[in-house]
């Protein structure tokens, strides 16, 4: 199986609904654990940053990716798309 490109992952992520919401408490250890678990199981995860998150969205997204050991694909508005590293490298399959 050939490696997936960012474009391929964005296409998959476009049809997803956010499954994790970051609220006023910000990035907590529990939130990171949940994102890491979902990235492992789903391969591609969409995260919604609620308006109460006052920090820079790009910085929050980079922090989420780093701490959950995933790859930041894109930040559009208040939505962050994260992907499993192995999935991006073409080493794992995904079924929708």
- Burial (CB < 10 A; 0-12, 13-18, 19+), residue 85, is middle
Q: Express each pLDDT in 3-13 by its tens digit.
A: 578 888 999 89
Q: Express each pLDDT in 53-89 by its tens digit.
A: 888 999 999 999 999 999 999 999 999 999 998 887 7
pLDDT for the residue numbered 93: 55
In sequence order, which residues have a C-beta less than 8 Å from that of residue 39 and are 6 or more positions away?
A: 45, 68, 69, 70, 82, 83, 84
- Dist CA 95 CA 5 (whole Å): 17
What is the arithmetic mean of pLDDT over 10-20?
93
* CATH numbers and ranges of domains, the chain: 6-88 (3.30.110.60)
In sequence order, which residues have a C-beta less than 8 Å from that of residue 23 and are 6 or more positions away?
A: 50, 52, 53
């Amino acid at each position: 199986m050939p490696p997936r490109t960012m474009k391929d992952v964005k296409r998959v992520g476009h049809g997803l609904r956010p499954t994790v919401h970051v609220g006023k408490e910000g990035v907590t250890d529990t939130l990171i654990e949940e994102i890491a678990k979902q990235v492992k199981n789903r391969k591609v995860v969409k995260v919604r940053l609620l308006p109460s998150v006052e920090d820079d969205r790009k910085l929050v997204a980079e922090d989420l990716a780093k701490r959950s050991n995933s790859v930041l694909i894109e930040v559009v508005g208040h939505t962050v798309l994260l992907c499993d590293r192995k999935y991006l490298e073409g080493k794992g399959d995904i079924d929708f």
